[in-house]
Structure 1
Amino acid sequence: MALSSIKQIRELKIQGASNVALFVLDSLLKEGRRSKSKDPKKFYERILELAFRLAVARPTEPAARNALAFVLTRLEQADKSSVASIKRELSASVGEMKRLIDEIQRKTIEVASNRIPENGTILTHCHSSTVVKAISLAHRRGKKVEVICTETRPRYQGRITAKELASAGVSTTLIVDSAVRKFMKEVDLVLVGADVVCSNGAVINKIGTSMIAAIAKEHRVPLVVACGSYKFDPLTEVGYLEMIEERSPREVLPFPIKGVKVKNPAFDVTPADYVDAIACEEGLVPPIELRNVFKKKFEINMKFLEEFHKILKSK
């Protein structure tokens, strides 16, 4: 089960940072429930091992790492005198984290939806379930919106966004990534998700986001990032740099060309100056303020995050 879960994450079978976070929580809980171990020490060590393996399945997934660190922090403080007591705390802490994610997502969707202008044209990039739900909510409430989706090479996640929005009845246009500048003059708002928000307010999202942000700024089009506080990476506050995942060259060039190298970073960094606001559970906040929202919500032992980071760096 654990190996299958890790493979699904690595192969992008699970799309979106929030969905990955929920998936790793469910995977950890299922493994815990399935265990026949009678030894509490061995059982706890097995849960730790699984959590660490899930946490480092992909480099740029702080939402998943935060979720797992939240659970491990609770388990560390809990009664571990029996397997049953550990299982109870595992179930309770996973349930609490999932409840928090659900509540944060719901509020974030509401805030982002309210920011969408009437009769406006929205530009999106990649696939964010939060963005799709926010636009769909605005549409259901009677706002007339047009959406332009970038196809988002090389994995074409923008096609997923376009399909979901069209299925919700939203007027949707799909464009190639390189056409963004041509269409920006028609756009009233750029609305994207995020995989990571750093302590300086920089946003890490699908490759191409920073290019779109620069074009939006040039055209004086506001860019809003819709993401909950659990996407904040607290390690960036103490000097750690977020790792940018490098994907397989075959995603870009299925058949190698002699003498040609391929670089395929999955994400890029958009400076805080290019982000007008983050739509999160507390409302519209400046990018640098998301760390304060995170601190109010989550109690996490940093040692777990630091250990995750060490493993990722050693790979």
Structure 2
Amino acid sequence: MAAMLTQFEDLAADNTSGATELIQRILALCESGAMGNTYNEIREGLNLLEDAHSSMPSLHTVIQILKSEFLPGLKNADDLEQSLRYIVSLQKILEESGAQIAEKFLSVLERPTRILTISRSSTVISALKKAHKANKLSHLYVLEARPAYEGWRTVRDCSAAGISSTLMVDAAMGEAVQTAEAVVIGADSVSSDGYLLNKTGTLPLAICASEFGLPLYVLCDSLKFSPQTRRDVTIDEHPDSEVIEKEESDAFKVWNRYFEWVPINYVEAFITERGVFPPEELEALSTEETAADE
């Protein structure tokens, strides 16, 4: 029990992985736990995760689905196989969505392109690797995304895949957009009132891209489109110590939030598993999904 809960605690404390990557790890953990007959541990772990990552509505949606559709089947041995099939189907949907997004991303790149990104998104990284293999990515610039430095992991993963890459400090984004030809980011959520939620630094990056005429592409699956408005989502405050070691005499405050909202009018297109959509078509897309669910 302790080992299983420790893994859930690690997921709850993970401040550097994106929503899609965390969801994939949660599904894998639930699958292994189900085969080990650990209903109580999984239930406690999901409750723990429910209190974490408040800035990731899509992750909370998946947790609610797991609690209502997957967890009950673990209480009865006859339903265990069905619960496991449910997990496998969710994993397959995520995997296929990522592959479809990467394929559609290639369609917007007409030639080898210098691309700029910020922080870390498993969906973006997969698409960049595919673009590299298709000879449509000439160079990658990565903003480091302080204070957790998720950009470090991104540039290392991409460089290891053979992608010509440069890591840049966040304050150099103005220079970066004058060097790159397109900006590509992920999203932890897209609100119903016309904003996307992503790592702090994305808003000034979007403004810089707009000023210098660079297209901003957002790569995310349909799970990220939320019925919530930005006012419904709590953005967590993180410790001062991640930014500076304060002394007893220090009276100033430290603002340390990992996420911020960006108006979607800065976006050239959202690239999802269902297609490439300009911001003005997102409402129609959301309506189609609601009708399909009904």
Pair 1:189–1:244, CA change in 2 (3 A): same
Pair 1:28–1:293, CA change in 2 (3 A): farther
Q: Which of 21, 33, 36 is matched with 2:35 structurally?
A: 33
Residue type of the partner of 1:262?
A: V
Give yes or no for the alignment of 1:72 onto 2:78.
Answer: no
Residue type of the partner of 1:24?
A: I
Count matched residues: 288
Give yes or no for the alignment of 1:157 onto 2:182.
Answer: no
CA contact (8 A) 2:4 2:41 kept: no
**TM-score, structure 1 as length reference:** 0.81
- Larger relative contact order (Cα-Cα within 8 Å, sequence gap ≥ 6): 1
**TM-score, structure 2 as length reference:** 0.87
Residue number in structure 2 paired with 1:312: none
CA contact (8 A) 2:12 2:48 kept: no
Pair 1:48–1:233, CA change in 2 (3 A): farther
Partner Cα separation in structure 1 for residue 129 and residue 259 of structure 2: 26
Pair 1:267–1:79, CA change in 2 (3 A): closer
Unaligned runs of 5+ in 1: 37-42, 300-315
Residue type of the partner of 2:9?
A: K
Give the match's secondary structure for 1:234.
coil
Residue number in structure 2 paired with 1:243: 234
CA contact (8 A) 2:50 2:60 kept: yes
Superposition deviation, residue 128 in structure 1: 1.2
1:184-222 deviation digits (Å, cap 9, x = unpaired): 122211000111111133110011001100111111211
Pair 1:153–1:256, CA change in 2 (3 A): farther
Residue number in structure 1 paired with 2:244: 253
Superposition deviation, residue 4 in structure 1: 1.2
Superposition deviation, residue 34 in structure 1: 2.6
Residue number in structure 2 paired with 1:216: 209
- Any residues of structure 2 matched to 1:276-291 within 5 Å, and which? 276-287=268-279, 288-289=282-283, 291=286
Residue number in structure 1 paired with 2:127: 134
CA contact (8 A) 2:101 2:271 kept: yes
Residue number in structure 2 paired with 1:303: none
Q: Which of 186, 195, 215 is matched with 2:188 structurally?
A: 195
Superposition deviation, residue 3 in structure 1: 2.8
1:242-263 deviation digits (Å, cap 9, x = unpaired): 2212222211114546213211
CA contact (8 A) 1:8 1:14 kept: no
Unaligned runs of 5+ in 2: none
Residue number in structure 1 paired with 2:57: 62
Partner Cα separation in structure 1 for residue 206 and residue 85 of structure 2: 40
Residue number in structure 1 paired with 2:170: 177
CA contact (8 A) 1:200 1:272 kept: no
Identity of aligned residues (%): 27
- Any residues of structure 2 matched to 1:32-51 within 5 Å, and which? 32-35=34-37, 48-51=43-46
Superposition deviation, residue 279 in structure 1: 0.7
Residue number in structure 2 paired with 1:106: 99
1:78-130 deviation digits (Å, cap 9, x = unpaired): 779x6113423321221221111111111112112332342321110001122
Partner Cα separation in structure 1 for residue 37 and residue 243 of structure 2: 41
Give yes or no for the alignment of 1:22 onto 2:14.
Answer: no
Pair 1:272–1:10, CA change in 2 (3 A): same
CA contact (8 A) 2:220 2:270 kept: yes
Residue number in structure 1 paired with 2:267: 275
Residue number in structure 1 paired with 2:10: 8
Partner Cα separation in structure 2 for residue 217 and residue 137 of structure 1: 26
Q: CA RMSD in A?
A: 2.7
1:140-195 deviation digits (Å, cap 9, x = unpaired): 11225211111111111111111122222222111111111123122211000111
Partner Cα separation in structure 2 for residue 85 and residue 112 of structure 1: 43
Superposition deviation, residue 2 in structure 1: 4.3
Superposition deviation, residue 229 in structure 1: 0.9
Q: Which of 90, 98, 110 is matched with 1:97 structurally?
A: 90
Partner Cα separation in structure 2 for residue 113 and residue 175 of structure 1: 25
Partner Cα separation in structure 1 for residue 114 and residue 203 of structure 2: 20
Residue number in structure 2 paired with 1:308: none
Partner Cα separation in structure 1 for residue 261 and residue 86 of structure 2: 32
Give the match's secondary structure for 1:60.
coil
Residue type of the partner of 1:253?
A: I
